[in-house]
Chains A and B, each alone.
Chain A
């Protein structure tokens, strides 16, 4: 890991004062801070090389196309995929919507087959399946995470010969529970080989090494802005055979092969899924972000966050006015979710901001089914990234004590 001085240089926001305090950014599950280098790369593209991609034959167009495609290559290498298996989207939400619609319109499911999701999902991996299920008459089953905790063997009771699609988060954006994806995939395939396994990697890919071939998943969705990249860029990885099989989601320019009044045939992968002018700025920024993460090392990032999470759990456990959610063991990473007795999370978040300069999130975290499982309407959520340190958690600890004294 780098030193805090180096992080302050990389991330201008870290030099900000919030109400007289140094900013401590613990809202990384929502979005991460921006490195200057990423914005420099985007600026350089915008100011010197910008043109539309894949269309024109002039120099700028060639440069833009080259930059866009080399970003794709970078992303592919990062998760060990092939270039044509990487589709650029707006983010995780769009990736999963694309998949849900494409799978539904491709009539991949027999009438008795099922889509299986869980109650720990972010709405982005919950609502699209539920709604597509309603629109297209597909069966959607929900595995209930009791007390908000995923249990692999209980989950596997839901997997049967009828299961055709499993879509699940790799890491809960509320409790920080890490799903044992490798074990999950092996176990599902033992029950039924041809299940399409989709991982919502929004909270996974930014925080640990992820190899789609080794884990053998079929689809992976993630967002650039949760891993130092710009907003408005995300990724859908899909196994070639499936991407070839399913219908495109958006129709229009660039995704076509031959168009006539009678019919249209579609472009080869990945362009079949990238209708319209893509977000080249975003792709260029994301590639730079990945470069920064690779230089630090995904293994190091995971280890750092595990240590921080552990430290946070151990410290916060000592506060008897506080309830912590989740597994509270080594299967938790990057995120701690908690509530102060009888105090609403908004009050806590606002006070932490003004009293200590700490930014956390308060609310339902777009995971209302999980909130009902936890028996609450909202929680406070502190989420960590590369630039956070134990000192930040000490300040959080002191801040929470102060707030409790004030409001109890």
Chain B
């Protein structure tokens, strides 16, 4: 078995996403959802602008570690332009990936730079925080 090291988690791509401020902003009049990791004190707010069932714009605010920030930025980039239904499917495949289960690689193509996250159980929740917050936002959207 190939040993998974820190370099596989803190890749240059992930470090770049963590530093990228493009998706780090509030969107006025957007759908909002807040998520927290109680044990570490990390908080995130996701903003979704949905029109005709399509996610026109996504962004986030909050603070957290590199993994959580990169995950949130990549998520926003990934779901923009997708329908709510597609986003739900993407969410469920991402969660499977984070748990080390089989997942649909095609559906979340590009997200595989995080595919080793399941090997770092203490960090999985950093990665999934933004995704669970998204799930919550999508539920709100469907409820509205």
Q: CB within 8 Å of B: which residues of A? A: 19, 343-347, 350-351, 354-355, 362-364, 368, 371, 377-378, 406-407
Contact = CB atoms under 8 A, between A and B. Distances in A.
Interface string B64-102: 111100000000000000000000000000000000000
A19 B120 CA distance: 13
A350 B67 CA distance: 11
B66 A407 contact: yes
Nearest to A345: B65
B39 interface: yes
B42 to A, nearest CB: 7
Contact of A368 (B41, B64, B65): B41
Q: Which 4 A-B pairs have the closest CB atoms?
A: A344-B65, A346-B65, A364-B41, A354-B6
A363 B64 CA distance: 10
Given A354-B5, A355-B6, A407-B15, A378 B67 contact: no
Contact of A377 (B5, B41, B67, B122): B41
29 contacts: A19-B5, A343-B66, A344-B63, A344-B64, A344-B66, A346-B40, A346-B64, A346-B126, A347-B10, A347-B67, A350-B6, A350-B120, A350-B122, A350-B123, A351-B10, A354-B6, A355-B6, A362-B40, A363-B39, A363-B41, A364-B40, A364-B41, A371-B41, A377-B42, A377-B63, A378-B40, A407-B10, A407-B15, A407-B66
Contacts of B123: 346, 350
Contact of B66 (A347, A355, A362, A371): A347
Interface string B106-135: 000000000000001011001000000000
Interface of B: 5-6, 10, 15, 39-43, 63-67, 120, 122-123, 126
A363 B10 CA distance: 20
Nearest to A350: B123
A378 B6 contact: no
B41 A378 contact: yes
Given A346-B123, A377-B41, 6 more contacts: A350-B6, A350-B120, A351-B10, A378-B40, A378-B41, A378-B42
A73 B119 CA distance: 47
Contacts of B10: 347, 351, 406-407
B72 to A, nearest CB: 13
A347 B15 CA distance: 11
Contacts of B15: 407
Nearest to B3: A19
A26 B81 CA distance: 47
A374 to B, nearest CB: 12
Nearest to A354: B6
Nearest to B63: A377
